[in-house]
Amino acid sequence: MIKKFINRLLGKDAAKPVTVLGTRTEVGVAEHGIDPSLLDERATRVVKTLQEAGFEAYIVGGAVRDLLLGRRPKDFDVATNATPEQVKSLFKRAFIIGRRFRIVHVVYGRGREHEVIEVSTFRALLTESSAQRVTGNEKTSKSELAGKSHVVDESGRVLRDNVWGPQVEDAARRDFTINAMYYDPARQMVVDYHGGLKDIRAKLLRMIGDPETRYREDPVRILRVVRFAAKLGFAIEPATRAPIVACAKQLPEVPISRLFDEMVKLLQTGHGLASLETLKAQGLGRGLFPVLDAVLQADGSLPEGPRGAFVRQALQDTDARVADGRSVAPSFLLACLLWHEVKSRWQALRAKGEPPVPALQQAIDQVFDARVGDISGRGKLAADMREIWLMQPRFERRGGSGPYGLVEQPRYRAGFDFLRLRADVGDADPALADWWEDFALGSDDDRAALIEDAKAAERQVRQHRATAPSGPEGDEAAGPEPLAGPAKKRRRRRRPSKGRGDGGAGEPGAAAGGA
């Protein structure tokens, strides 16, 4: 017992490095069946440029996996034996980024239409002799780490990994067999070291090496297991699944910004509902992400009733938008996840006598502090979420020039989509969403008539209140007032969004969040 304690204190009890090298197998087109039309021309150009300069170069990782599944990859990564400096010298617009892992971004195009091809250098295996261990008591600065190539903490988590090596070692240090294959588009040859092609055909997610060691090296691999299992519909190999719950205790050590990005990937890459189910199945439903803790029950499931229905519908619509090739933004989905907590705090503040808008602003600040925190680079995302929420009480006011100004707001469509989603699950009056849909799509005469209808409805409400008995049912402190009376115009059928879905000022998009 004492020996184990001392070893753990000295870092000797940490997980051992991966030593599974694998055997190089080259698979021709007759066996792998990759369709060249699914390739990205710019990624192929990067590979060709590196090869013509005398280096090895391959399309690698998830792109190869998707090509083998007959899917067009969203992103293309390239792996090479050229160093980052050598890669950078071959391209006009190339940038070396990263401290933990140094890679090169080769950029084509400009503005929104630009494309980034990520190029990484083959990395060597982590060994006991090459690793510099850092204990929790050591104060190691970034400048000190910069002089070291392999750095791990006392639990085995890799802090820095910039030692170059041969392809066989690069394959061994990748996480899953299905992500450790290389494709040469010139020879149409797949290089497979760990039986990845076989696992793809068996629909099996399997870790390379000892799973517990690999999770300790990078706890985010736990979330990648969940994401790939949900995305691909693959089973998790038993040995890969076994240490997940125990190793999940190391996830709080991961930088909060990286965890936040992984949560967004889980929810917004076309398989959000399946990801929640997989998290629950692996015992990871609660305790990982404060944002999800705001909506999930103790067993990791969505609650029944309007709250759960609202989140479920938002996830379903987001999945549908991704499947249709339409854009989505995290601000809309995150606004949906946190809306009912914002609303609950809003109602509580109004019950204490706070005016509606200041109460809502305070509620938003409280939820950001409790669920999002100070995440670097999230300023615009937070601003977009705030604007969506603050727009909701503005929809209640339909008189004067207010509606004309609101529909011209840059984020109007995102705010309306949010209102429509609320109405679809009973969280807002459907007549209110219908009125705004008619107003946004209507002519000048239509809009004037709608405003007159709204004025008449408001007069009826005031007359009713003047004659109705007072009591708890009439207490307005419980939240925003419901709309009185349906819109008189026939509801128009919603037109599908044809644009980028970026929350522009055009017609309302689908409730999935044109944000």
Range 461-482 average pLDDT: 56
Least confident of 127-136, 176-185, 308-317: 127-136
Structure tokens at 84: 């980052």
Sheet holding 189-192, edge to edge: 25-27, 189-192, 181-184, 57-60, 77-80, 115-121, 103-108, 94-97
DSSP codes of every residue in 103-154 = EEEEEES-GGG-EEEEEEE-BPPP-TTT-EEE-TT----HHHHHT-SEEEET
pLDDT, the chain, mean: 82
Which one, of 81, 180, 175, 78, lies nearest residue 122 by Cα? 81
Q: Would you name the residues annotated as active-site residues?
A: 75, 77, 175
Paired residues of 258 in beta bridges: none
| Mean pLDDT calculated for residue range 373-399 | 85
Name the nearest CA neighbour of 339 among 357, 360, 355, 316.
360
Burial class (CB in 10 A: 0-12, 13-18, 19+), 210: middle
Between 502 and 375, the higher pLDDT residue = 375
Tokens of 342: 């914002």
pLDDT tens digits, 321-356: 998 888 888 899 999 999 999 999 999 999 999 999
pLDDT for position 429? 93
| The pLDDT of residue 396 is above 60 | yes
- pLDDT at position 128 is 54
Q: Estimate to the nearest angstrom the gap between the alpha carbon of 493 and the chain centroid.
A: 31
Return the C-alpha torsion angle 428, 419, 462, 348, nearest 10.
70
**Is 418 a residue whose pLDDT tops 80?**
yes
pTM comes to: 0.77
The CATH architecture annotation of domain 17-124+164-203 reads: 2-Layer Sandwich (3.30)
pLDDT (average), residues 448-460: 86
What's the per-residue H, E or C state across 257-324? HHHHHHHHHHHHCCCHHHHHHHHHHCCCCCCCCHHHHCCCCCCCCCCCHHHHHHHHHHHHHHHHHHHC
**If one looks up domain 210-302 in CATH, what number appears?**
1.10.3090.10
331-363 exposure pattern, b = at least 16 Cβ within 10 A, e = fewer: bbbbbbbbbbbbbebbbbbbeeebebeebbbeb
* For residue 33, pLDDT beyond 50: yes
Classified as helix, coil or strand, 161 is strand
Can you give the pLDDT at residue 474?
44
**Mean pLDDT confidence for 442-452:** 92
The answer to whether residue 193 scores a pLDDT higher than 50 is: yes
Q: How far apart, in whole angstroms, are the C-alpha atoms of residue 434 and residue 488?
A: 10
Domain boundaries, the chain: 17-124+164-203, 210-302, 314-478
Average pLDDT over residues 265-287: 91
For residue 13, the model assigns a pLDDT of 44
pLDDT-derived band at 187 (thresholds 50, 70, 90) equals very high
- Please determine, for residue 148, whether its predicted confidence score (pLDDT) is greater than 50: no
**pLDDT value, residue 329:** 86
Could you tell me the CA-to-CA distances from 438 to 67, 266, 275, 448, 502 in Å, in that order?
44, 35, 36, 11, 21
How far, CA to CA in Å, does 393 sit from each of 156, 248, 388, 422? 50, 40, 10, 13
DSSP 449: H
Q: Identify the CATH number of the domain defined by range 314-478.
A: 1.10.3090.10
Pairwise CA distance, residues 461 & 317, whole Å: 35
Using a 10 angstrom Cβ sphere, with 0-12 exposed, 13-18 middle and 19 or more buried, the burial of residue 486 is middle
Structure token digits, residue 317: 């619509």
Same fold, 210-302 and 314-478: yes
